[in-house]
Amino acid sequence: MEPLQPKPSKLQAYLRKISANPLKIILFGYASYIIVAVCLLSLPICWKDGPVSFLDNLFIATSAVSTTGLVTVNTPVAYNFWGQLVILIAFQLGGLGYMTVGSFLVLMGNDTLSSFRKQVGSVVFSLPEGFDLKTLIQHTVIFTALAEIAGIFILTPLFSIQGVDNPLWTAIFHTISAFCTAGFSIFPNSLEDFRGDFWINVVVSILSLLGAIGFLVASDVWQSNVKRRRTMSLTSKVILLFTSCFIIAGFVLLLLFDTSIQALPIGERILAAWFQSMTALTTVGFNTHPIASLSAFSVLLTLALMIVGASPSGTGGGIKTTSISAALGGMWSSLRGNQAIAYMGRRIPEERVTAASAAIVFYILVFLIGTGGLLLVQDQVFEDVVFEVASALGTVGLSRGITGDLTVLGKLIVITMMYVGRIGPLSFGMALLYNRSRQLIKMPEEDLAV
């Protein structure tokens, strides 16, 4: 007679339930990063001139892990080298994605991934068909290391020429912050002092774009051009096309219609318009031009770019260029009366379009809830509050100057928006509501006018 198995405790049953859903693992995984970061930032060894409140440490930790860059305290004023190092490690891990580093270390010793890691990794990277997770993780870590080493090597002498104190640490911090689209800076006014420096603008832009277009594209380009195994996937082509189009459109519109940018010398005008379009779409969050000085039209344009955001499997946030492209494709097909949706000679699966529509609708819903909540607790101008929520949910980090004036409830709302934005609003909702034991409910079908 077999011995009776002990009945699992409620905690064990709950943990098994969590482990059965990769989205819940990601939800708790990023939360664990934040908890560790806030505990370290709360140590006096990380403070510079005086204590930082627990809520501010929680805000900074969440902003770092979510690669947002919004701050309630000035980073170089509040934190010394050790505090800045904690922040750097937090946005490096947050940018790479949950379990990426751990999976890479496992592959170094074992060359295989457990089914659990494969399941979580596929969700983290939003893998389409045809991509191997093991290869992608290896390419992600190698690509990140090469890009960041190159960025540090180039930015160090550039900051030195500008007379920056400790140019090596400054280059390390800003390189990783740019590639992870974190937007954290150890300059009090972000990169405004370098608005006219062509090379610093170019290097930071390239690092931000490399992080924002996603590791799928980097892996795809490597395999198609170096290994010559196949042509680039449709996903990579769509990402590159839409990223280019949105940034160029934003650049042209800012250059032509923003009065504060038009007041600059021609060289700075071009650099500022380019950088502000790039920083909004990639969600990197650096700025070389004061956001508060932008015209109403430019604020709306920046808001739109932040909401669109970067690309899947990258370090940026937002709805994502691929979701927007799929939704636009669906709209265009409906207008033309077509059943199928196609891009570049390829038909898009209907479930992808449905997922994109769901992501957009849920994103807007969370955005409206966050905006409404912040308007209730903050006595601020409407457009500034809308901009702040869009920046937090899109993990952008740009602000019109109200972050430091947030109330306790306001900080908690923005913290929630940053956390949800890093996971992805739709993924966050599915982590809470998704039921693996779905059952087909037999109900009568009836048409609905739309």
Q: What is the pLDDT of residues 84-134, one digit of tens each?
A: 999 999 999 988 876 666 565 555 656 666 665 666 656 555 666 656 667
Name the amino acid, one letter, at 133: L
CA nearest neighbour of 360 among 307, 411, 432: 307
Q: In this structure, are residues 97 and 124 in contact, taking their beta carbons and an 8 Å threshold?
A: yes
> What is the mean predicted confidence (pLDDT) over 242-256?
95
Predicted TM-score of the model (pTM)? 0.87
> What is the mean predicted confidence (pLDDT) over 132-149?
82
Q: In this structure, are residues 280 and 307 in contact, taking their beta carbons and an 8 Å threshold?
A: no
Q: What are the pLDDT digits (tens) for 308-357?
A: 988 877 778 888 888 888 888 877 777 777 767 766 667 777 777 777 88
Q: Is pLDDT above 50 for 163?
A: yes
pLDDT of amino acid 437: 47
Lowest mean per-residue pLDDT among 7-11, 265-269, 357-361, 375-379: 7-11
> What is the mean predicted confidence (pLDDT) over 359-379?
94
Residues 6+ apart with CB under 8 A from 387: 291, 299, 302, 303, 398, 399, 400
DSSP string, 385-448: HHHHHHHHHTT----SS-GGG--HHHHHHHHHHHHHHHH-HHHHHHHHH--SS-----------
Q: In this structure, are residues 378 and 384 in contact, taking their beta carbons and an 8 Å threshold?
A: no
Q: How many residues does the chain have?
A: 450
Model confidence at 251, pLDDT cuts 50, 70, 90, reads: very high
Chain-centre distance for alpha carbon 258: 26
Q: 162-189 burial by CB neighbour count: b if 16+ within 10 A, else e?
A: eebeebebbbbbbbbbbbbbbbbbbbee
pLDDT of amino acid 260: 94
Q: How far is CA 244 from CA 236, 248, 281, 390, 414, in A?
A: 12, 6, 10, 21, 30
Q: Rounded to the nearest 10 degrees, what angle do helices 100-110 and 81-96 cross at? A: 70
Q: What SS3 class is residue 213?
A: coil
Q: What are the pLDDT digits (tens) for 254-300?
A: 999 999 999 999 999 999 999 999 999 999 999 999 999 999 999 99
The H-or-E segment that residue 8 falls in is: none
